[in-house]
Structure 1
Amino acid sequence: MLKFLSGLVVGAIVMYTAMHFHLVRGQNGVFVVAKVTSDLSDVFVDIRGFTVEDWKQHKPLAAAIIQSDRSEVLDDATLDSFREGVHSVVDHLFSKD
């Protein structure tokens, strides 16, 4: 009976954490961000390769990151994506075919 009750308590703690926090992996490590809405979406998200289109699909995550004063994470990912896009356009324009 003790195993059942301890499993119940651990499960409740895990569910509460999953419903109220995002676990985000960024360029500078892993950090926890409080969710804007209580649901089970985006419990763990690796944002290292996110593009602008990815952020459009994860708007609640972006809002939670901004509210937690970690908005520099958004800038880095978007800037990297933009920089890669510019490099590919420049490479295409100046390539010798």
Structure 2
Amino acid sequence: MLKFFSGVVLGAALIYNAMHFHLVRGQNGVFMVSKETSNLSDVYVDIRNFTLDDWRQHKPLAAAMVKSDHSELLDDATLAGFRENMHSIVDRLFAQD
């Protein structure tokens, strides 16, 4: 019976954390970000290779990261996306020769 109640308490704690926090893996490690709304979306997100399109699909995560002072991670993805776009434009310009 003790194992059952221990499992119930552990499960309740895990569900609570999953509903109230994002577990985010970035370039500098893993950290927790408080969610803006209580739901089970984006419980664990690996943002190391996120592009601008990925951030558009995860707007609540982006808002939560800005609110919790982790917005520097958004800047990295924006800059990387900008660089990729510029490289593809330059490659297309020179490929037309």
Higher mean displacement: 56-65 or 46-55: 46-55
Identify the residue that residue 40 of structure 1 maps to in structure 2. Answer: 40
Alignment of 1:27-66 (within 5 A): 27-66=27-66
CA deviations 1:12-53 (Å, max 9, x no partner) are 000000000001111221111000000000000011121111
TM-score after normalising by structure 2: 0.93
What displacement does 1:96 show? 6.8
The 10-residue stretch of structure 1 (14-23 or 87-96) with the greater mean CA deviation from structure 2: 87-96
What is the identity percentage for the equivalent residue pairs of Structure 1 and Structure 2? 70
Moved more, 60-69 or 83-92: 83-92
Structure 1, gaps ≥5 residues long: none
Alignment correspondent of 1:93: 93
User: Runs of at least 4 residues of structure 1 off by over 3 A?
Assistant: none
Give 1:14's aligned residue.
14
Give the paired residue count.
97
Report the secondary structure of 2:89's partner residue: helix
Note the C-alpha offset of 1:55: 1.0
